[in-house]
Amino acid sequence: MLMRQLIFLTMIALLAGCAVNPVTGKKELSLVSEKQELAIGAQQYAPARQSQGGDYAVDHELSAYVSRVGQRLAAVSDRKLPYEFKVLNSSVPNAWALPGGKISINRGLLTELKSEAELAAVLGHEIVHAAAKHGVRSMSKGMLLQAGVAGAAIATQGTDYANLAQMGTGIGAQLITQKYGRDAERESDFYGMQYMVRAGYDPQGAVDLQRTFVKLAEGRRQDWLNGLFASHPPSQERVQNNIELLASLPKGGDLGVARYRTKTARLTRTKPAYEAYDEGREALAKGDRAKAGRLAQQAIALEPKEAHFYGLLGDVEQKNKRLKPAMLQYDKAIQLNPNFFYYYLQRGKLNEQLNLTSQAQADLERSVKLLPTAGAYNSLGNLAQKAGRLTDAKGYYAKVAGTEGELGLQAYGALVDLDLKDNPAKYVRVRVGQDAQSRIVARVSNPTPRNISRIVLLIQYRDATGKTQQLRRSLSGTVAAESQQLFDLDLTGKLTQEQIKTLQSGIAEAQVVR
């Protein structure tokens, strides 16, 4: 019966979710409305960029140039969307599109291209992903796969944005890193080349681009494997498909080799600076602070306007316990690029260490507006707790407590310290029943990182007349962190079997062991 219901609900979802693909003209599954699609792109675009190095801010003309090329292609696409094009400050060769036409290309990919036509091939390919709803199609398939456990929810919620909650958190990251299927890649290659022709570009650039990608893939460069190839795997088949399509398209068009070289000249010239920076980051991660500092200084000498380099130097100084010199480096980074979360986060933590409360608060709040992070929320929780703003502190710690790692555990412990006394049932669980010896016992589970004692249970049962009776039982002893313990409630022989069947229990009181 249940299986028939799920199949029925899935069929309803399929019928209700069919839509015409604006690029291919085919009917396809779509459980995400256009309104939702645009909202996802708009909401995820900025934090997705922040999490991948932020926008490239050194050469604004280069960013404007990439945007002009992108808008030239977007103007001839089959679907009108609020397209945006950004250059990200990352050496990983990558490009991606979010639903709604929000597209980014990394600095590291721009240094590998040879012409404006190749840039147009990359951007045209991403435009098709957005226009043809490839990301949304993947979301719809993922949602449909969950119909086996949540079919009713999908069928009854209609176009409400709550549908997307079933997909969990980090939607933007999932969409960026997803691996498109072969059909989606073929469509993006096919229609992307047609967009190039419509926009006046030579589609030969798309063939050249795929040939380059195949060579790089054969060399198995790690940065490429971590970047574009992870989501857009190249193949000789794609090269051949592009060659066959090229033969059927009008000849000629704009290659823009000289123009591209001019526009990317600074990026090409300063590439060694970013290579030094990347090596410095790696050195610092391995604990070699001296090497990281030297490489940061080397990078600054080659490109003194790059904020990331000063951020690295600030991190080196911080690791060396030189807090004021570190502060100066973060100040320089923020002066050069006031729109990247990391510098505010690091400076905020420094201000917290130096007991500069108002400055720390301002920096950390600015950081989470750009990109919410566990580190910033945890520090904001610390500041609120010190100031006696306990409700605020609980709210900040609660945001971090669900994250993995040491910081999440630390915040969870701080939250338990503040909130257990007021809300013990949120943190401690209890089950009451009979054990193998027919004793009435309580199994108390403590999943928190704190030892807990002075536990008081509230026990209810229905007496012979059907009235609800309540008992309170204080439990002696301590339940250790992340453990459970069995307690005899001293009720054996005092309740009938029928009354035992109606037993219910909850945690009325508990305290953290200090």
Number of domains in the chain: 4
CA distance 417 to 382: 12
Identify whether residues 128 and 63 lie together within a single domain.
yes
Q: Which of 84, 87, 85, 83 is nearest to 110 (CA)?
A: 87
CA distance 258 to 288: 42
Instruction: Give me the domain span that covers residue 153.
Output: 2-259
Specify the pLDDT at position 34: 87
Q: Which of 1, 118, 87, 99 is nearest to 45 (CA)?
A: 99
pLDDT in tens, the chain (514 residues): 444 544 444 444 444 456 788 888 788 777 788 898 999 999 999 999 999 999 999 999 999 999 999 999 999 999 999 999 999 999 998 999 999 999 999 999 999 999 999 999 999 999 999 999 887 776 655 544 343 333 323 233 333 322 322 323 356 666 665 666 678 888 899 999 999 999 999 999 999 998 888 877 776 665 655 656 565 666 788 889 899 999 999 988 999 999 999 999 999 999 999 999 999 999 999 999 999 999 999 999 999 999 999 999 999 999 999 999 999 999 999 999 999 999 999 999 999 999 999 999 999 999 999 999 999 999 999 999 999 999 999 999 999 998 888 999 999 999 999 999 999 999 999 999 999 999 999 999 999 999 999 999 999 999 989 999 999 999 999 999 999 999 999 998 899 999 999 999 999 999 999 8
How distant is the alpha carbon of residue 303 from its chain centre? 30
Identify whether residues 6 and 138 lie together within a single domain.
yes
Note whether residue 94 is domain-resident. yes
Of 208, 237, 259, the residue that ends a domain is: 259
Of 337, 368, 384, the residue that ends a domain is: 337
Identify whether residues 90 and 165 lie together within a single domain.
yes
Identify whether residues 11 and 72 lie together within a single domain.
yes
Model pTM? 0.85
Instruction: Write down the residue that tokens 């910033």 correspond to.
Output: 376
Identify whether residues 319 and 346 lie together within a single domain.
no
- CB count in 10 Å sphere of residue 247: 7
Of 310, 337, 364, the residue that ends a domain is: 337
Phi and psi dihedrals of 454, rounded to 5?
50, 45
CATH code of the domain in which 305 resides: 1.25.40.10
Identify whether residues 41 and 16 lie together within a single domain.
yes
Identify whether residues 18 and 98 lie together within a single domain.
yes
Q: Which of 345, 34, 13, 272 is nearest to 158 (CA)?
A: 13
CA distance 171 to 41: 10
CA distance 311 to 339: 13
